[in-house]
């Protein structure tokens, strides 16, 4: 079964690369980037072995590999997802059990750029412990289970979190936790920047304390075993080895439980049919037109679809991190930064409209066969975006102004938020008609590999953001000038509304025309599946 699953993974990967130029380009770029990181890591480990004292080298290795394991968890949840090229749900109709699939899925999951890079760096770790025979043997011993911990931790966490997020009871809490987690990470990074002026002795103390803490965390249990043995703490090394093995067993059993449930679920998640109530307030937000229908439908997606909720959490992280870091380092210059934090949310959430078509998947055929114009599609998505994000931006703007106490900047903040939001929606309406990619199916895990769209999604986001900022440069210049010439703030607000509406109108118009020319290509792009 292991050989069959691995061969299936390689076949599907080869076929997907043949079908998509973007995947081939993305794989090449990712491979080159990973190769560079592996080279730097190996060079660093060799340098530690040759020139650093044994205790410093051990501390650095423990901390680095604990962070590497935590990185698998963090980036799987927030950025890359877990590779499901070999989708377990596709085995639901076959007479195969979870315990038979697990070994093959584990090895298949490690076949990829992250898995291979992690394995190479972990093997290089052995070089760092070649100071004595015992530490070397233990380093060799912990490499395989350490690599397995990286994958199992990411797989189990994303599986559990995806189920929680898809639950109506817990998804709002999960949405908040994602944003708080990202903000907390940014705060820690900002506070660590204060170590730049510390003495060598202080840095050594901080490194030792951080390594000790990391060694007692689940992500560092196995990686700290050779280091503890080399320091003469054999008993602690044995305890951590037992804990690391117990962690692997626990993750393996949790993964098996959820995998077994996946094998008896429908391939495409379904749900109980519900009667749609008529006359709800949300229905009266939009006009009774094709664009209004699209707006109503997509607004429901923003509220119910875990993929959209996870996206909002990702966009909230940056402004929340900016607010938290400025509060953590209070000074007079930080208060305006807090006040202007919602500007980032207005920009990044607005250009998320460029990704909206991909989440429709093959259901976009309904727009095509109904003869809906591209402009109606673009307008409807702007309706839902403004209905959801407009109140959110207002609330966050009021909160940040209250926290910072910079009420005199209200007009400037409002000008940038309104201007960048309208410009972002206009640019996103156009850019979203140019690039699409296959996203996870509705109800599927928002954290599986491919949910971020790879290179096309990155290109779409970069172009949309760059164009939005470029078109907003006159507005930004006016806001900056208004800090010295107060009446220019009112001019900036007028420009934000007028200029934003112009960009929005032409973005919808150009995006609609582009869609009408590209409907077949759009349907093909969003319908493609790697598995």
Kindly report the length of the chain.
Answer: 531
What pLDDT, on the 0 to 100 scale, is given for residue 286?
79
Q: Has residue 198 been placed in a domain?
A: yes
* 219 and 83 both lie in a single domain: yes
Q: What is the pLDDT of residues 326-365, one digit of tens each?
A: 565 555 556 777 788 888 877 877 777 877 887 887 778 8
Q: Give 293's contacts (C-beta < 8 A, 6+ positions apart).
A: 286, 380
* 230 and 340 both lie in a single domain: no
* 245 and 294 both lie in a single domain: no
String of DSSP letters for 323-386:
HHHHHHS--TTHHHHHHTHHHHHHHHHHGGGGGHHHHHGGGGHHHHHTT--HHHHHHHHHHHHH
Last residue of a domain, one of 263, 281, 310: 263
Between 82 and 397, where is the model more confident? 397
Coil, strand or helix at 445? coil
Which of the four pLDDT bands, split at 50, 70 and 90, describes residue 494?
Answer: very high
* 399 and 517 both lie in a single domain: yes
Whole-angstrom distance, CA of residue 383 vs CA of residue 289: 12
Q: Does 181 score more than 60 pLDDT?
A: no
Whole-angstrom distance, CA of residue 526 vs CA of residue 442: 12
Are 178 and 310 in contact by the 8 Å Cβ rule? The answer is yes
Whole-angstrom distance, CA of residue 435 vs CA of residue 438: 11
Q: Has residue 274 been placed in a domain?
A: no
* 67 and 199 both lie in a single domain: yes
* 112 and 222 both lie in a single domain: yes
What pLDDT, on the 0 to 100 scale, is given for residue 426?
92
What pLDDT, on the 0 to 100 scale, is given for residue 327?
60
* 248 and 370 both lie in a single domain: no
* 255 and 295 both lie in a single domain: no
Q: Has residue 121 been placed in a domain?
A: yes
Whole-angstrom distance, CA of residue 272 vs CA of residue 424: 37
Q: Does 275 score more than 70 pLDDT?
A: no
Q: Has residue 97 been placed in a domain?
A: yes
Q: Does 29 score more than 90 pLDDT?
A: no
User: Count of domains in the chain?
Assistant: 2
Q: Has residue 49 been placed in a domain?
A: yes
Whole-angstrom distance, CA of residue 344 vs CA of residue 411: 16
Between 198 and 223, where is the model more confident? 223
Q: Has residue 270 been placed in a domain?
A: no
- Structure-token match 């189990």, residue found: 156
Which of the four pLDDT bands, split at 50, 70 and 90, describes residue 495?
Answer: very high
Q: What is the pLDDT of residues 123-154, one digit of tens each?
A: 999 998 988 888 899 999 999 999 999 888 88
What the block records as the tokens of 279 is: 């006359």
What pLDDT, on the 0 to 100 scale, is given for residue 145?
93
Between 379 and 307, where is the model more confident? 379
* 367 and 499 both lie in a single domain: yes
Which of the four pLDDT bands, split at 50, 70 and 90, describes residue 497?
Answer: very high
What pLDDT, on the 0 to 100 scale, is given for residue 272?
43
**Which of 225, 249, 246 shows the shortest CA–CA distance to 237?**
225
Q: Which of 7-16, 66-75, 490-499 has the highest mean pLDDT?
A: 490-499
Q: Has residue 120 been placed in a domain?
A: yes
Calculate helix-pair angle for 410-431, 374-404, nearest 10 degrees.
150
Q: Has residue 339 been placed in a domain?
A: yes
What pLDDT, on the 0 to 100 scale, is given for residue 329?
58
> Average per-residue pLDDT in the chain?
78
Mean pLDDT value across residues 39-62? 89
Helix (H) or strand (E) holding 474: helix 473-482
Mean pLDDT value across residues 278-306? 75
Between 140 and 155, where is the model more confident? 140
Whole-angstrom distance, CA of residue 384 vs CA of residue 425: 11
Q: Which of 236-245, 296-305, 438-447 has the highest mean pLDDT?
A: 236-245
Which of the four pLDDT bands, split at 50, 70 and 90, describes residue 165?
Answer: low
Mean pLDDT value across residues 213-229? 90
Mean pLDDT value across residues 53-70? 89
* 294 and 241 both lie in a single domain: no
Q: Does 224 score more than 60 pLDDT?
A: yes
Lowest pLDDT segment from 17-26, 264-273, 475-484: 264-273
Whole-angstrom distance, CA of residue 297 vs CA of residue 271: 17
Q: Does 246 score more than 80 pLDDT?
A: yes
Predicted TM-score (pTM) of this structure: 0.59
Whole-angstrom distance, CA of residue 71 vs CA of residue 438: 25
What pLDDT, on the 0 to 100 scale, is given for residue 89?
67
Owning domain of residue 416: 290-527
Mean pLDDT value across residues 256-270? 69
94 φ/ψ angles, rounded to the nearest 5 degrees: -105, 150
* 84 and 216 both lie in a single domain: yes
Between 183 and 436, where is the model more confident? 436
Last residue of a domain, one of 222, 247, 263: 263
Q: Does 428 score more than 50 pLDDT?
A: yes
* 304 and 434 both lie in a single domain: yes
């Amino acid at each position: 079964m292991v050989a069959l699953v691995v061969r299936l993974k390689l076949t599907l990967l080869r076929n997907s690369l043949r079908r998509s130029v973007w995947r081939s380009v993305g794989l090449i770029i990712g491979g080159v980037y990973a190769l560079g990181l592996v080279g730097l890591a190996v060079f660093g480990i060799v340098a530690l072995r040759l020139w650093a004292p044994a205790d410093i080298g051990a501390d650095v290795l423990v901390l680095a590999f604990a962070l590497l394991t935590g990185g698998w968890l963090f980036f799987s949840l927030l950025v890359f997802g877990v590779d499901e090229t070999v989708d377990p749900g596709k085995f639901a109709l076959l007479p195969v059990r979870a315990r038979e699939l697990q070994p093959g899925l584990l090895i298949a999951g490690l076949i990829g750029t992250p898995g291979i890079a992690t394995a190479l760096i972990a093997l290089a770790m052995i070089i760092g412990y070649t100071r004595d025979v015992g530490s070397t043997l233990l380093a060799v011993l912990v490499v395989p289970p350490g690599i397995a911990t990286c994958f199992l931790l990411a797989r189990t966490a994303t599986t559990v979190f995806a189920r929680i997020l898809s639950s109506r009871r817990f998804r709002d809490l999960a949405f908040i936790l994602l944003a708080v987690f990202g903000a907390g990470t940014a705060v820690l990074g900002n506070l660590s920047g204060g170590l730049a002026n510390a003495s060598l002795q202080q840095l050594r103390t901080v490194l030792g304390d951080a390594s000790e803490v990391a060694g007692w965390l689940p992500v560092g249990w196995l990686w700290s075993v050779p280091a503890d043995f080399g320091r003469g703490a054999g008993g602690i090394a044995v305890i951590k080895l037992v804990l690391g093995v117990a962690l692997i067993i626990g993750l393996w059993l949790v993964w098996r439980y959820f995998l077994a449930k996946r094998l008896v679920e429908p391939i495409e998640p379904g749900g109980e049919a519900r009667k749609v109530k008529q006359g709800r307030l949300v229905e009266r937000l939009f006009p009774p037109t094709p664009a209004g229908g699209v707006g109503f439908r997509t607004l429901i997606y923003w509220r119910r679809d875990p993929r959209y909720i996870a996206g909002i959490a990702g966009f909230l992280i940056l402004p929340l991190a900016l607010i938290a870091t400025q509060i953590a380092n209070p000074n007079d210059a930080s208060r305006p930064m807090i006040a202007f934090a919602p500007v980032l949310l207005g920009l990044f959430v607005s250009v998320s409209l460029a990704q909206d078509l991909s989440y429709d998947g093959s259901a976009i055929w309904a727009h095509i066969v109904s003869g809906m114009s591209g402009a109606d599609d673009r307008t409807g998505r702007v309706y839902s975006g403004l209905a959801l994000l407009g109140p959110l931006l207002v609330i966050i703007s009021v909160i940040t102004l209250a926290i910072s106490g910079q009420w005199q900047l209200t007009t400037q903040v409002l000008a940038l938020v309104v201007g960048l939001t309208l410009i972002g929606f206009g640019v996103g309406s156009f850019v979203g008609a140019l690039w699409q990619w296959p996203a996870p199916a509705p109800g599927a895990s928002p954290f599986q590999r491919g949910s971020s769209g790879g290179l096309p999604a990155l290109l779409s986001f970069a172009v949309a953001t760059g164009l939005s900022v470029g078109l907003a440069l006159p507005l930004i210049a006016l806001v900056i000038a208004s800090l010295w010439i107060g009446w220019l703030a009112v001019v900036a607000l007028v420009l934000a509304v007028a200029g934003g509406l112009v960009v929005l109108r032409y973005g919808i118009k150009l995006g609609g025309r582009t869609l009408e020319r590209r409907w077949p290509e759009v349907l093909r792009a969003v319908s493609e599946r790697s598995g």
